Structure 1
Amino acid sequence: MSGRAGAELELAAKVIELVRGLAGRSAEAEVNVRHEELALTRFANSAIHQNVADSTTAVRLRLHVDGRTVGGSSTITDVDGLRALVERTLAATRVSPADRSWPGLAPPAPLRLSAGHPGSGERSGLAFGFDEATARAEPAERAERVRDFVRAADGLETAGYCRTVYVSAAFANSAGQAVEGRTTEAAMDGIARSGGADGVARLAAARLGDLDGAVLGARAAAKALAAREPVELPPGRYEVVLEPDAVSDILQNFAYFGFDGRAHHQQQSFAEPGREQFDPSVTIVDDPLGSRDEPAGDLAFDEEGTPRRPLVLVRDGVTQAVTHDRTSAGQAGTTSTGHGSAVSRSWGPHASHLRLEAAPVQGAAPGTGGAEAIVESARPLVAGMRRGLLISDLWYTRVLDPKTLVITGLTRNGVWLVEDGEVVSAVSNMRFTQSYPQALGPGRVLGIGAETVLLPESWGRARYAAPALHLAEWNLTGNASG
């Protein structure tokens, strides 16, 4: 881990000084400085084949001058590099079109930290969601978890990755807002393969020490073994239990296409705040600060300097809110919810820490057939199913209709037929075409698992806290034959 506490905020302040000197005090400026260290250990054919590490400090400047807005960025952080960034960004404003949607700068405001987090009282949120051991993790520590995963798979072919991320960031603007913070993330994602059948296990955490490769490897292997010799079922509408990995895909699509304030303003979202759009058992929260149950917090401010806070999007089935950056909030006549990002003005402000609240399951005893392959919180839900499918994972999901959020995609990494609470057979992968909000609509949620699993997004730093989910109906539209 390189750098020191406060270094990013000093860089941001230098850029603000340069803007004032070169553009005058009438210019509005905001500066993000982000130092990120990503380390990745990948394995395939049950052996580590790649270990990479990348350390980058990037400075991003957004200038609003004479009604025009331009952004620029640089990884050259000496005085000459920062001056060049300001000069070329300022020059670009002179030839840019007017920006009528400019929302102004975030005003000075204190950060809001999670009361449940042990670092919640520390200055500026600097240590919030931060674990020193993870930030300093060596390749050997990631390799140990890979080794444990491979050994626990007991001879099955394995592949996947273990990664750690350390971020130290700061924000400053010419209106006087100045904040800083640090955060860490660890994640592991692996599969085991047996006779062409795959099983998966994933987990995200704030601390590398919370990842147990042996537990994950054993789970992936059990799923692979249980998924061998699948039968083919006809397409149709099936009662399903979705394990947390599958539920995380629902949350990701809700974040990108459902609760996006820009899409809502353009009437391209299903969300209708104040309306009961979901089953009363459904509560969905975007919680970037983490909680006692899910302590993996993120930076306590967004990329426009707005303090982040937990945001209830759905409570007891009723849609409550959508996410906003400063631009979409201005268009909607409200305030930012702390979801500004480098691309939010173009692509929309997206939640990246959605949690579907868990709910204790009453009454049903766990089934026995194939139980070793079932995520623990899904077992009571499976036991309560008369006839349906247990689905481990979804992938290659694509939006067919953003307004109703009809999604098409495929199952993978394990599907099983359940009869009278018992897993009776593996099932070959199937295609589905399903409206995600409709699947969770009033009367359609038959049960929610009693615990959530924190799952990583494979290509970003979003995290989704997902329980298992028992749904009355899922529209399977194709099987292995077509």
Structure 2
Amino acid sequence: MLTQGKAGEIFERIKKFSTAERVEVLFSGGKFALTRFANNTIHQNVAEENYTISVRTAFDGRTARATTNKFDDESLRRVVTASESLAKVQHRDPDLLPMPDAGEAAASAAKKTRQIPSRYFAGTAAITPELRADGVEKIVGIARKHNLTTAGIFSSSESVEGIFNSHNLSDWYTQTAADISVTMLAADSSGWQKANSPDVANLNPSNLAEIAAKKALDSAHPRQIPAGKYTVILEPAAVLDVVGFMFWDFGGMAILDQRSFLTDRIGTKLFGENINIWDDVAHPLQSGAPFDGEGMRRQTLPLVENGAVKRVVYARSTAERIRRSECKDKVGPIEATGHGFPLPNEMGEMPLNIVFAPPQNPQTVEQMIASTERGVLVTRLWYIREVEPYEKILTGMTRDGTFFVEDGRIEGGIRNFRFNESLIHMLSNVEAMSTPVRSSGEESFDMVAPAMKVGEFNFTEVTKF
């Protein structure tokens, strides 16, 4: 693995090759391995170890970046020359700030930040192809026991992220991760489960396989019910994949560009009283580096409190720009919060460590089902697209386990639906929530999210499967 010490040596060599006023280098990469299976057999096993360095140089308000994965002197000279050549032909950016120094980064660390738990686990780093194959063997055994066909992946990784700049700022982060995704297929139905964690000990391949198999079996011979508005019970993966579409709007650049659905709405009650959302990189169920693309420490921030949007997040330059804008009095607190993407970029920033606060009276999915007179239980959603940005109307489809609920019981599988639903409407009609858990989906990034029981969810069309 690339170490912080070795990265520091590479940075010193890069500085010697550069003629720029300021230099910043991002390090990323690590070891990644994946075992893929389909039709009840392993058909692919791959492994890679790769590290990249991304060099940003700056001259008098001009900046650009170039990247390489070769660390010999000649390759480093070439990447520095490429970055400098690109920077010199850019238009001058009046909003480009000097790179932060160690003092500014330290000051950001003192604001609303908490100690980050270790997310490097030796057991995860030591996963071998044989251990992944053992996990797949358990999954396949469960599929065969139920006369099902299974497909999915079991992956593991050991990764690093680091930043160094010519203002004496440096930071480094290491993490492990393991990921299992299981799909179970029957003749006319399917089931799915997915989980990941920095600690492989938190993953149970057999448990995931049994849940996916039960969904496939219980949804067999799906019947068709009419489209319309239903009480819907969304499992955490379904919640994650749909709400993930709104967090791009929780950034200062989106407000400045007037492409955020929060424009002129910050400080207003937009969702139900029971919706409380934080961005918290230090949460024990979260993961990821505690610093942003410029080396500023990520702050722990309340985004939504009792349904009211409290604030958005900012990169350094976005905070400066919005202080000079016409909307400065309508956006809540303005400060660099440690959420910026590496420069240069057009997106600015966004919160990436979303945590839903636990509800006052959490319910299990089983309790939500028991209290539902007529509704739909959804395992997950996919093929989600935005239809209307200001009311945040999304369209997408259910899949891999959609069930009809009547008189407090699951009454079998149903054909999948297409939905058209506003996130504002959805999060204003949450009737119950479970205790939030670390959740993984396919359409959005991982977050700590609950299952939700939502009233009047709008299904617009029935599929043929």
Do both share a fold (TM > 0.5)? yes
Paired residue secondary structure (1:6): helix
Give the distance between the partners of 1:185 and 1:344, measured in 2 at CA. Answer: 29
**Cα separation, partners in 2 of 1:287 and 1:10, compared to 1, 3 Å:** farther
Give 1:425 deviation, angstroms: 2.5
Give 1:83 deviation, angstroms: 1.8
Match of 2:449 in 1: 466
Task: Specify which of 409, 417, 436 is matched with residue 404 of structure 2.
Answer: 417
Return the TM-score normalized by structure 1: 0.87
Match of 2:327 in 1: none
Return the TM-score normalized by structure 2: 0.90
Match of 1:404 in 2: 391
Give the distance between the partners of 1:150 and 1:361, measured in 2 at CA. Answer: 38
Which residue identity does 1:251 align to in structure 2?
Answer: V
Q: Deviations over 1:228-282 (max 9, x none)?
A: 11111112111111011100112321223x3233222222212232111111111
| Alpha carbons 2:114, 2:300 under 8 Å: kept | no
Give the distance between the partners of 2:153 and 2:252, measured in 1 at CA. Answer: 34
| Alpha carbons 1:241, 1:381 under 8 Å: kept | yes
| Alpha carbons 1:327, 1:345 under 8 Å: kept | no
Match of 2:212 in 1: 220
**Cα separation, partners in 2 of 1:5 and 1:344, compared to 1, 3 Å:** closer
Task: Specify which of 202, 216, 233 is matched with residue 210 of structure 1.
Answer: 202
Match of 1:130 in 2: 120
1:429-468 mapped onto 2 (5 Å cutoff) = 429-441=416-428, 444-450=429-435, 452-456=436-440, 458=442, 462-468=445-451
1:97-112 mapped onto 2 (5 Å cutoff) = 97-108=91-102, 109-110=105-106, 111=109
**Cα separation, partners in 2 of 1:51 and 1:422, compared to 1, 3 Å:** same
- My pick for the range that moved more, 216-225 or 311-320, is 311-320
Match of 1:277 in 2: 270
1:63-462 mapped onto 2 (5 Å cutoff) = 63-108=57-102, 109-110=105-106, 111=109, 119=117, 128-153=118-143, 154=145, 155-256=147-248, 258-271=249-262, 272-291=265-284, 294=285, 296-333=286-323, 334-342=334-342, 345-359=345-359, 361=361, 377-441=364-428, 444-450=429-435, 452-456=436-440, 458=442, 462=445
**Cα separation, partners in 2 of 1:30 and 1:4, compared to 1, 3 Å:** closer
Q: Deviations over 1:388-443 (max 9, x none)?
A: 111111000001112221101111111111112111131100100111122102xx
Identity %: 28
Give the distance between the partners of 1:439 and 1:178, measured in 2 at CA. Answer: 42
Which residue identity does 1:453 align to in structure 2?
Answer: V
Give the distance between the partners of 2:454 and 2:442, measured in 1 at CA. Answer: 26
Give 1:467 deviation, angstroms: 1.1
Give the distance between the partners of 1:344 and 1:466, measured in 2 at CA. Answer: 31
Q: Which runs of 4+ in 1 moved over 4 A?
A: 111-117, 457-460
Match of 1:371 in 2: none
| Alpha carbons 2:383, 2:443 under 8 Å: kept | no
Match of 1:368 in 2: none
Q: Deviations over 1:294-344 (max 9, x none)?
A: 1x4321212211112322211221112223223333322333322222478
Match of 2:331 in 1: none
Give the distance between the partners of 2:443 and 2:55, measured in 1 at CA. Answer: 25
Q: Deviations over 1:344-393 (max 9, x none)?
A: 8223423322122232546x8xxxxxxxxxxxx31111111121111111
Give the distance between the partners of 1:457 and 1:237, measured in 2 at CA. Answer: 24
Match of 2:329 in 1: none
Q: Give 5+ residue unaligned stretches, structure 1.
A: 120-127, 365-376
Q: Give 5+ residue unaligned stretches, structure 2.
A: 324-333
Paired residue secondary structure (2:34): strand
Give the distance between the partners of 1:144 and 1:88, measured in 2 at CA. Answer: 46
Count, aligned residues: 446
Give the distance between the partners of 1:348 and 1:197, measured in 2 at CA. Answer: 42
Paired residue secondary structure (2:185): strand
